[in-house]
Every structure is written in C-alpha cells, then in structure tokens.
Amino acid sequence: MAPWADFLYACDSRWWEHHEPIEFEGEKWTHAPIEKNGLYETQHKVAAKYGLRVMPGKHGRGLGTAHINYGGNSGYQAINLAYMFGAGSIVLLGYDMQKTDGQQHWFGDHPEGPMKVDSNYSGWWNDFAKLGSDLARKGVEVINCTRETALTCFRRESLETVFASTLRDAEDGGNIQRLRPVAVA
C-alpha cells in the first residue's frame, strides 16, 4: 500500500473487513449505490465502522460526473474518483489487467475466502477504453506507468519519465498542480 498517499479507495466491503485495521493517515473512500438496496445498506455500515467517506455510484460504463461508474473494479472507480476530485492528469501504477507471474493482482493473490474471486480482465479492457475516451474529451490525460500491463487504451510511459518531465516543467516556471497520490486497493 502507499501510506503516504492522500486517498485510499476500495470498492468491496469484504476488502475493508479483511484488511481491518488499516493504518492510513489520508482519507479513506468507498462507494455506495445511488439506488437503495442491500448493497447500499452494507456499504454504509462498513463506511461507518471504518470511518470511510462514501461516493455515490452505479453500474455503468464511461465517466460518471455526478457519481462514479463501477466498471467492475476498484481501479476503474478510482480513476473516476480522481476526475471528480479535479485531476488534470492521472498516472496509473499496478494496473496489470492480466495475471502477472501467475498472480491475479499486483500485490499477489487474495487468500482463500470471500476475497478470492477471478478477475474479469478481458471484460474490463473495453470499459477502460470507454472511460479513457470520455476523460480525453474532458481534457484529462491518463498515463499508464504499470510495468507489465494488458491495458492498452492509455498512453504508456515509465514512471521515471513522467516524474522527470514534471520536474522539468516545475524548474521552467511552469504552473504544475501538486501531485495527489491515490492508493487503490
């Protein structure tokens, strides 16, 4: 995890329950559906239990502007949340969207139990492409700095290149926005 990040986002109540207690100084976020149903109640209970802020969300593709669209995973939702927080550029790390070294996630596989589910990578690729095109129309650049990724809809750069470019802009007197790191679980 990134304990120095400003925000931590995870969509699954099971994730918060499994990783409790979470030592994190920044803001912790999750979602709850716009429509009131069983998931709405569960998410609000978990949010109250762990001190999470709640962003309204719903099933949908592309960019949500008054709520986040789910896109099937926390990474997708965190990109939407970053847009809603006013990000002009979004840098992705850990967006493998494939099994890497035989593991489902950048941090490894979930242990056996309710968190152990197969990821729908191929189904998510098109959803990310729609999200990316919506963000581009809004003037938001997304740069994928993940070392090994199957997600091809965003510009690819190394993290070193992105940060070197940002530092050069600052040295040249450019008006750069402070980087606001978001950790995604």
143 close to 79: Cβ distance less than 8 angstroms: no
Q: How much is the average pLDDT of 61-80?
A: 94
How much of the chain, in percent, has pLDDT values that exceed 90?
Answer: 48
The pLDDT value given to residue 113: 63
What does pTM read for this prediction?
0.84
The pLDDT value given to residue 78: 94
Residue 55 has pLDDT above 90, yes or no: yes
Q: Which of 30-39, 66-75, 86-95, 170-179 has the lowest mean pLDDT?
A: 170-179
Confidence of residue 117 (pLDDT cuts 50, 70, 90): low
The pLDDT value given to residue 102: 76
Q: Which residue, 182, 96, 98, is CA-closest to 145?
A: 96
Number of neighbouring beta carbons within 10 Å of residue 59: 11
Residue 97 phi, psi dihedral angles, 5° rounding? 55, 35
Domain-by-domain residue ranges, the chain? 7-184
In the structure encoding, which two tokens stand for residue 33, read together?
A: 């559906």
Confidence of residue 2 (pLDDT cuts 50, 70, 90): confident
